[in-house]
């Protein structure tokens, strides 16, 4: 319970100078198949000091530390909170084709941008000057104040990213809003992988969610790749298979 209070305290400290905090995290970056998904959750001081948070912050943690039922229950709670206007939450997805095109880091940034765009456009963080006494009616109508928000992203700082942000290493275990974002991302991606399991049966996507388990490796060796496999990642998955059959499979995949 003390750890959960630390998560909330971390966010309250980072609200200094702004009125809103946005946590961002991803799921699926290390998987061998399927999309990468990012979640973004906006919270305020009012929410962090609310009765709901007082009672439920202890339930929130890095999504990897929670079971599926716990994550689904929290998703339902977040949905209710969003409908009530207590938080804002969104997710973004980058598919396998985008991972192949932009590499996994580029695709992760793309998913994070899409998640954030559902809350604020990048232009909301651009420095602006308020209209002065001589401004035209058009300039006054077009004026958009800069968002009073700080973005916390799990991990290292992102280069060439359109949103100013604070990088928080292991942020999903330190920040409440990042942990909430990690749950949004994980539940969303898990649901997508269950859908992909129905489209591409036999690989076990619904069970391992595209990660490099022994079951997954054996399924790929047996069935070959499917369109949801990441080619570069697949080579890593099969690298531990030294027999000639693996080399034949890799040659065929490259053909």
Quote the pTM value.
0.86
pLDDT, tens only, 153-211: 999 999 999 999 999 999 999 999 999 999 999 999 999 999 999 999 999 999 999 99
- Whether the pLDDT of residue 251 is over 50: the answer is no
Tokens of 96: 């396998």
For the ranges 29-33, 125-129, 141-145, 248-252, which has the lowest average pLDDT?
A: 248-252
* Mean pLDDT on 216-229: 93
Q: If you compute the radius of gyration of the chain from its CA atoms, what whole number of angstroms results? A: 21
Tokens of 45: 């001081």
The two tokens of residue 246 are 């693996």
CA 44 to chain centre: 20
Q: Which of 67, 64, 80 is nearest to 27 (CA)?
A: 64
232 falls in which pLDDT band (50, 70, 90)? confident
Digit-coded pLDDT (tens) for 129-141: 666 667 677 766 6
CA distance 194 to 209: 8
Q: Report the distance separating Cα 27 and Cα 86, nearest Å.
A: 24
* Whole-angstrom distance, CA of residue 90 vs CA of residue 174: 20
Torsion angle in degrees (nearest 10) through CA of 55, 56, 59, 63: -160
Q: Where are the alpha helices (DSSP H) in the chain?
A: 2-14, 45-48, 51-56, 68-83, 96-117, 137-142, 176-199, 205-208, 214-223, 231-238, 244-254
Which pLDDT does position 136 carry in this prediction? 77
CATH of domain 2-195: 3.30.420.10
Whole-number pLDDT of residue 135:
64
Task: Provide the pLDDT for residue 188.
Answer: 98
What mean pLDDT do residues 7-24 have? 96
Question: Tens digits of per-residue pLDDT, 76-119?
Answer: 999 999 999 999 999 999 999 999 999 999 999 999 999 999 99
* Boundaries of every domain in the chain: 2-195, 204-254
Among 191, 151, 155, smallest CA distance to 11 is for 151
Q: What integer best gives the mean pLDDT of the chain?
A: 89
pLDDT for residue 216 is more than 70: yes
Beta-bridge partner residues of 235: none
């Amino acid at each position: 319970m003390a750890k959960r209070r630390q998560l909330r305290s971390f966010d309250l400290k980072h609200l200094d100078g702004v009125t809103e905090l946005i946590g961002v995290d991803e799921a699926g970056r290390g998987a061998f198949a399927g999309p990468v998904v990012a979640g973004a959750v906006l919270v305020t001081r009012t929410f962090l000091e609310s009765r709901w948070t007082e009672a439920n912050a202890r339930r929130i943690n890095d999504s990897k530390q929670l079971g599926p039922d716990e994550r689904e229950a929290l998703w339902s709670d977040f949905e209710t909170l969003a409908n009530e206007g207590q938080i804002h939450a969104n997710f973004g997805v980058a598919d396998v084709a985008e991972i192949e095109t932009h590499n996994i880091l580029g695709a992760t940034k793309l998913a994070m941008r899409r998640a954030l765009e559902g809350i604020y456009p990048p232009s909301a963080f651009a420095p602006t000057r308020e209209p002065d006494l001589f401004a035209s009616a058009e300039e006054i109508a077009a004026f958009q104040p800069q968002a009073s928000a700080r973005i916390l992203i799990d991990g290292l700082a992102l280069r060439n990213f359109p949103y100013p942000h604070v990088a928080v290493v292991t942020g999903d275990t330190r920040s409440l809003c990042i942990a909430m974002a990690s749950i949004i991302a994980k539940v969303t991606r898990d649901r997508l992988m269950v859908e992909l399991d129905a489209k591409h049966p036999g690989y076990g996507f619904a069970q391992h969610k595209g990660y490099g388990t022994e079951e997954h490796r054996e399924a790929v060796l047996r069935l070959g790749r499917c369109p949801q496999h990441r080619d570069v990642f697949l080579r890593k998955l099969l690298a531990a298979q030294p027999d000639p059959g693996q080399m034949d499979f890799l040659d065929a995949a490259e053909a």
